[in-house]
Amino acid sequence: MSVSYRQPGVVLTDRRFTVPLDHADPTGETIELYAREAVASDKADKDLPWLVYLQGGPGFGANRFIGRPAWFGRALKDYRVLLLDQRGTGASTPANRQTLPLRGGPAEQADYLAHFRADAIVRDCEAIRPQVTGGAPWTVLGQSFGGFCTVAYLSLAPEGLSAALITGGLPSLDAHADDVYRAAYPRIERKVVAHYARYPQDVERARRIADHLLTHDVVLPNGYRLTVEAFQSLGIMLGGGEGSHRLHFLLEDAFVRTANGHELSDAFQEQAQGLLSFAANPLYALIHEIIYGQDARPTAWSAERVRAEFPRFDAAKALAGDEPLLFTGESIHPWMFDCDPALRPLRETAELLAARTDWTPLYDPARLAANEVPAAAAVYHDDMYVDTAHSLATARAIRGLRTWVTDEFEHDGVRAGGPRVLDRLLALARDET
């Protein structure tokens, strides 16, 4: 039963749907999807077109907005919005260390999670669209990985779309995960160098913390083992508009003097564990690399292997000399399944996914080249999470796609830019600019 309720300026309705786990087997096992329908309170009785929002990730549920902030308020001027918790996320049937053992052992868990890529998410959208819109096509807004899903949507079921809007999420159509990370590490280094140029005092602070972690066994209050590699992974913050400032504030008071000498402060440890733990979003760690799997080549812990090609990221070597410590970015590594108590029980499952060789293509270049769906994409110049060159190559491969390339925002521009990013994309898709 649907339940409706109100927030300032918006009427929300909880929606639940049942879909096949494997859309190739529609009579087989099912899972549940949760979505939140939203409409402006002054338009609740109007017949409006629909916009479905696909969150970034993978493995993150849709935004839990309060009121009408950022792009959401702009969307509510024109649409009823469906905030979909993609399979395995949010209030949809969960996939985590508590629930996955219900599937059986690691092999059964890995087989289950193989159904959680962009193609399955598109099929989910098509399965629920008739129940939501009565069969009418809808507009999709895809942020980051949601953009990957949107390109898959244009490949697999363009008939379901009235328009496609993408923010920071145009994937390469054919790159292996190795190609993705070979392009990523130089971008990450540029972001770190820019951070140190803004906050030069952080060079010594980061080195001091890393040196402490190389010589001390630090376990955070939640049981997370804070290694120097884990500390470096906090560089993922540098991909957002406020990330450099947030990282600076985290580093500035990292140590406290105690009876046993200087130690990492409780405040630093509390913040670090919140940033590092995958307890709320384990699916992100489990399936992150397989979103790039499209052929018989295993992903095989690509980010970890490729990192070895960039020795400047080696913390011990940096500390042995006078080089600044380089943080890393959006990448998943096998040691995370040792450090994080939320991931430890899933280590063997992750290994099996990394070794898998039966991935099928997610995108259809021929269909994209013949695209007729109005489409627009924001491409953030030097986006730390998604390679700009890959994005622009894909943009050229999608017929009729209009791009807005900007260095005004980082990867989170659709949030940080308020209504402006969505407003610009709508104008491009509608050929109003």
Sign of CA dihedral 267, 269, 275, 279: negative
Angle between the 201-215 and 177-198 helix axes, to the nearest 10 degrees? Answer: 120
| Cα dihedral: 59, 176, 357, 110 (round 10) | -10
Chain centre distance of CA 232 = 19
Active site residue 144: yes
Active site residue 333: no
Residue 74: C-alpha distances to residues 118, 139, 158, 373, 420 (Å) = 26, 14, 24, 21, 8
Q: DSSP assignment, residue 46?
A: S
- How far apart (Å, rounded) are the C-alpha atoms in residues 66 and 117? 29
User: In 3D, which of 116, 135, 143, 141 has the Cα closest to residue 52?
Assistant: 141
Helix (H) or strand (E) holding 76: helix 70-76
Catalytic residue from among 302, 340, 411, 412: 411
Catalytic residue from among 144, 233, 244, 277: 144
The three-class DSSP label of residue 337 is helix
Active site residue 23: no
List beta partners, residue 39.
11
User: Residue 135 — left, alpha, or beta (φ > 0 → left; ψ -120 to 50 → alpha)?
Assistant: left
- How far apart (Å, rounded) are the C-alpha atoms in residues 212 and 272? 15
- How far apart (Å, rounded) are the C-alpha atoms in residues 426 and 167? 12
List beta partners, residue 53.
83, 141
Q: Which amino acid is at 191?
A: K
For 410-430, letters b (16+ CB in 10 Å) and e give: bbbbbbbbebbbbbbbbebbe
- How far apart (Å, rounded) are the C-alpha atoms in residues 273 and 290? 25
Question: CB neighbours of 260 closer than 8 A, spacing ≥ 6?
Answer: none
- How far apart (Å, rounded) are the C-alpha atoms in residues 161 and 55? 17
- For tokens 């209050």, the residue is 221
User: In 3D, which of 78, 278, 287, 291 has the Cα closest to residue 177?
Assistant: 291
Q: Which residue blocks in 325-387 are alpha helix, DSSP H? A: 336-339, 347-355, 365-369
Enumerate the active-site residues: 144, 358, 411
